[in-house]
């Protein structure tokens, strides 16, 4: 026999279908951590903080479907988050705070450490910071003579496919920080990390300017959505 949907109003004392869901989800997280939850469930836990009542599962699933994943959702601009039904300014801001805290956590793991011993964490930090940006960013990692990361700065922001970079300014900033070497990093919003001809020419200009003043360029990383390219690894540096 076919099931019959009951569209009749609930009795006053009848609980909504999501009643108790928040407590159950929190209990599961307490027992198993994030590994015991689906991405939309972890996102629900974050939404609970700004939406004190109601069913937030539809909004969580809608964000994952729109942006493509958990990390992409946290990295999405506030204006894009506000396009999701059920997401207001308080919720969008809460998600951006969580995103900023996550980036700070990863950054702390690489700052003041030798880049050789923390290379994988450095790549993870660069991907977390830049992989989902919708415009190009040009970032510089400054190293001392022991190859310890002493500073991480976004030098320029551009358009979807171009960032203006000035070699003199790059080298000037390295000297201001007493850096002995630098690692260049920029993202490709298209998702493809393959270096462009303009990327190669710009890198060569920076290398030439840096060498004149005794600053080495260790590498230039291009960050895509799911992977990255290394100029050094590709034999371009």
Domain boundaries, the chain: 21-105, 113-230
pLDDT of res. 132: 80
| Helix, strand, or coil (residue 112) | coil
Asked whether the beta carbons of 197 and 100 are under 8 A apart, the reply is no
pLDDT of res. 65: 95
Computed from CA positions of residues 159, 162, 168, 172, in that sequence, does the dihedral angle turn out positive or negative?
A: positive
What are the residue ranges of helices labelled H in the chain? 21-32, 39-48, 57-67, 70-75, 78-81, 89-108, 119-130, 167-176, 197-212
pLDDT per residue as tens, the chain (237 positions): 333 333 345 555 555 555 688 889 999 999 999 888 999 999 999 999 888 788 899 999 999 999 988 988 998 889 999 999 989 999 999 999 999 998 888 888 777 777 777 788 888 888 888 888 888 999 999 999 999 999 989 887 766 667 788 899 999 999 999 999 999 999 998 889 999 999 999 999 999 999 999 999 999 999 998 889 999 999 998
Quick one: which of 212, 206, 199 has its CA closest to 183? Answer: 206
pLDDT of res. 22: 87
Question: Class assignment of domain 21-105?
Answer: mainly alpha
pLDDT of res. 7: 37
pLDDT of res. 18: 59
Q: What is the largest CA-CA distance in the chain?
A: 83
Distance (Å, whole) CA 20 – CA 35: 21
DSSP class of residue 106 equals H
Fold for 113-230, please state it. Cytidine Deaminase; domain 2 (3.40.140)
């Amino acid at each position: 026999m076919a099931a019959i949907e009951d569209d009749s109003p609930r009795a006053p004392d009848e609980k909504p279908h999501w009643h108790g869901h928040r407590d159950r989800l929190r209990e599961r997280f307490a027992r198993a951590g994030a590994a015991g939850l689906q991405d939309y469930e972890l996102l629900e836990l974050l939404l609970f903080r700004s939406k004190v009542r109601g069913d937030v599962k539809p909004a969580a699933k809608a964000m994952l479907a729109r942006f493509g994943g958990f990390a992409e959702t946290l990295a999405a601009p506030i204006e894009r988050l506000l396009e999701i039904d059920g997401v207001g300014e308080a919720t969008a801001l809460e998600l951006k705070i969580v995103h900023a805290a996550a980036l700070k956590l990863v950054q702390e793991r690489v700052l003041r450490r030798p880049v050789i011993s923390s290379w994988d964490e450095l790549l993870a930090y660069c991907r977390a910071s830049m992989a989902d940006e919708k415009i190009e960013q040009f970032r510089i990692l400054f190293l001392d003579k022991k190859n310890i990361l002493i500073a991480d700065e976004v030098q320029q922001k551009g358009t979807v496919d171009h960032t203006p970079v000035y070699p003199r300014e790059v080298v000037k900033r390295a000297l201001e920080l007493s850096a002995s070497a630098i690692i260049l990093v920029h993202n490709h919003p298209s998702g493809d990390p393959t270096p462009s001809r303009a990327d190669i020419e710009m890198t060569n200009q920076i290398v030439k300017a840096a060498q004149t003043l005794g600053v080495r360029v260790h590498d230039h990383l291009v960050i895509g959505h799911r992977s990255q390219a290394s100029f050094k690894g590709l034999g371009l540096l």
